[in-house]
Structure 1
Amino acid sequence: MSEKIETQSVETVRAHRVKSFCACVGISASTFWKYVRLGKIKTIRIGGRVLVPHAEALRIASEGLK
């Protein structure tokens, strides 16, 4: 019995989990939450999970966290 593992390309990702977002941006989780409190990173909640929308990740990639 074989399992099919489905992968997603960057283009199909609609939101990022906090841990993977922090790793990509190069910040710690505590810094992430500080920026969320300051309004520098916008998040969404889906089913109790906190996610960073892909559009927000692209904005941060281009502008940075000023």
Structure 2
Amino acid sequence: MAGAVQLPDVTALDGELVVWEHGRLAFERLQNWLQRRGAGAARAADETPAHFDAFDLLRLAGTDTTIWP
């Protein structure tokens, strides 16, 4: 999320929360991570970090970018 603070206000990204394991997406690890609460969730996040992968820029500084080519 450190990169998010560098984005202008009123910016919207579309993406997914993912967990990478051995160079591949590990959907089952993410499900396990998301099903936990409290201390268990914190422990799972430490053991298996998740990352936000953005794939679409929907709005940039208040400008609708969905009409851009």
TM over 0.5: no
- TM-score tier, shorter chain, comes to under 0.3
* More RCO (CA 8 Å, sep 6+): 2
Q: Is the strand fraction higher in 1 or 2?
A: 2
TM-score between the two structures when normalised by the length of structure 2? 0.27
Rg (Cα) greater in structure: 2
TM-score between the two structures when normalised by the length of structure 1? 0.27
